[in-house]
Structure formats: structure tokens, C-alpha cells
Amino acid sequence: MNIARHIKPVAVVAVSDKFPVMPPGLEHDWRALNDLIDHYGQRQPIPCRDGHIEPSSAWTSERRAERDAAAKACSNCPALTQCRDYGIAHPKEEGVLGGLTPRQRTQAAADRRQQ
Ligand code: SF4
């Protein structure tokens, strides 16, 4: 499902140049997340965008070893926390998000519902 077409454009609020945050209520917004990643990406490499591992398609690979390598590379991402929150809110989204596979995100979403 392409959720981006259902989402109104938004601007990411930068509290400071170092720690931009998504506006309240937009934690589930794909465009807001991408704006945030773009913002961070101007200062630091984003592993899934900047060729940190080969193949670059590892984040959506069917191969477990490649997905695991992608998830490990996420640990160096400045947007890890926000990407993981988005991914847990959308566990059916394809691929590794925030260092978690869809299966891990489904489990994390279930855990959060029980809290
Ligand atoms: S946390 Fe991982 S999937 Fe999310 S933007 Fe960073 S590198 Fe990409």
C-alpha cells in the first residue's frame, strides 16, 4: 500500500540543527519521517541511502542474511529512533525499518499494545 499519497505535506520542526523532531501527532507519517531523514542526511550518512552495505537492496531483501546486515547497519543511523517508531506503527510496511524486520516490528507492536 502506498501510504504517501494519503498524507498531506508537512514540515519537520527542527528544535535545533542537531535534533530535529517530528511535530506531535505525526509520528506515523511517512512523509514527516522522510523529511526528518533528509534533514539528518544533510549532516550524516543514512545507511539505507548511502550505500553502507551491499547489496543496497538488503533492506527489502528476501534473504535473511542480507536483512540482518541491513538491520545491523541501521544502528549507525541518526534517524534510528524515529524510523523504528514509524516502523512499529506500520508493521506491515515492507522491509527493515529502524533496525527491525517486519516480523520484529509486528512483535514490537503487539508488545506495545499490551503495555
Ligand atoms: S533506521 Fe535504517 S531503515 Fe531507517 S532511515 Fe535509518 S538506515 Fe534507513
Domain count, the chain: 1
- Tell whether ligand 1 has an atom less than 6 A from the beta carbon of residue 79: yes
Q: Which amino acid is at 103?
A: R
Q: What is the pLDDT of residue 63?
A: 94
pTM of the model: 0.78
Summarised one tens digit per residue, pLDDT across range 5-53 is 333 334 444 444 444 555 566 557 888 899 999 999 999 999 999 888 8
Residue 93's pLDDT band (boundaries 50, 70, 90)? confident
Whether the CB-CB separation of 32 and 43 falls below 8 Å is answered with no
Phi-psi region for residue 17, left (φ > 0), alpha (ψ -120 to 50) or beta?
Answer: alpha
Q: Does residue 32 contact residue 23 with C-beta atoms inside 8 Å?
A: yes
Per the structure, the complete domain to which residue 34 belongs is given by 3-114
Q: How many other C-beta atoms are found inside a 10 Å radius of the C-beta of residue 76?
A: 13
Site to probe by mutation for ligand 1, drawn from 12, 68, 74, 101 as the one with most ligand atoms within 8 Å of Cβ, is 74
